């Protein structure tokens, strides 16, 4: 069973690579950003609160995201493997995730860390044009990644296997080939 955590700055291709993995390995893709955007679209209380943070490129408070993730990962479809895309994003979330996984008797097979040069990230996101893909918000998201989410990678160093892949101006399939080669050794 393959249980993966994706870590990477905004726009490095976590969602893109998750979609490719999902096709080949048939494991569930859990993207907290997508779940929050769905809540915004449905005008839930969580969505209304989340929007005020997401519009600025700030993280949504830990307690809200942890509860949302806990509810999702407890569902039966995760029993055959899952990918976490965008979670954990803080040390607090990483610690809570350990407790949740222990209680469900799940083990993480590997972290996949994707990185890219900042200019490539900005270029890609401006081209995509999601609600939070404007230059000011992108720059804040990158800052927030460095200060709050990159430490999560350090937290896992030595605890879990980490696959590190650089994404450049090539095609997503090139990045995927490198990830797949590593996943197939697990």
User: Any idea which residues carry the catalytic annotation?
Assistant: 14, 89, 128, 130, 141
Q: Show the DSSP H helices in 91-147 as ranges.
A: 91-104, 118-128, 135-144
Rounded CA gap, 125 and 120, in Å?
9
Site string for ligand AP5, 117-136 (x = CB under 6 A): -------x---x--------
List the helix and strand counts (H, then E) for the chain. 9, 5
Query: How many residues make contact with ligand AP5 (CB under 6 A)?
Result: 29
Report, in Å, the least distance between residue 22 CB and ligand AP5.
Answer: 12
14: tokens are: 């976590």
Q: For residue 59, give the nearest of 146, 148, 127 by alpha carbon.
A: 148
* Residue 167 binds ligand AP5 (CB under 6 A): yes
Instruction: Return the beta strands (E) in 24-109 as ranges.
Output: 28-31, 82-85
Site string for ligand AP5, 1-30 (x = CB under 6 A): -------x-xxxxxxx--------------
Q: Where on the chain is the footprint of ligand AP5 (CB under 6 A)?
A: 8, 10-16, 32-33, 36, 53-54, 57-60, 65, 86-87, 89, 93, 124, 128, 141, 167, 171-172, 175
């Amino acid at each position: 069973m393959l249980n993966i955590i994706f870590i990477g700055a905004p726009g490095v291709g976590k969602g893109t690579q998750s979609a490719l993995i999902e096709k080949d390995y048939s494991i569930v893709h859990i993207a907290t950003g997508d779940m929050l955007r769905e809540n915004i679209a449905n005008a839930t209380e969580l969505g209304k609160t989340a929007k005020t943070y997401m519009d600025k490129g700030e993280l949504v408070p830990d307690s809200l995201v942890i509860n949302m993730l806990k509810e999702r990962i407890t569902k039966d479809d995760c029993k055959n493997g899952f990918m976490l895309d965008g979670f954990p994003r803080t040390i607090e979330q990483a610690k809570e995730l350990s407790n949740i996984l222990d209680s469900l008797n799940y083990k993480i097979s590997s972290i996949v860390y994707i990185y890219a040069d900042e200019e490539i990230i900005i270029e890609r996101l401006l081209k995509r044009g999601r609600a939070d893909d404007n230059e000011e918000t992108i720059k804040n998201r990158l800052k927030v990644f460095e200060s709050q989410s990159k430490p999560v990678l350090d937290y896992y160093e030595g605890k879990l296997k980490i696959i590190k892949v650089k994404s450049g101006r090539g095609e997503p399939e090139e990045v995927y080939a490198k990830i797949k080669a590593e996943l197939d050794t697990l």
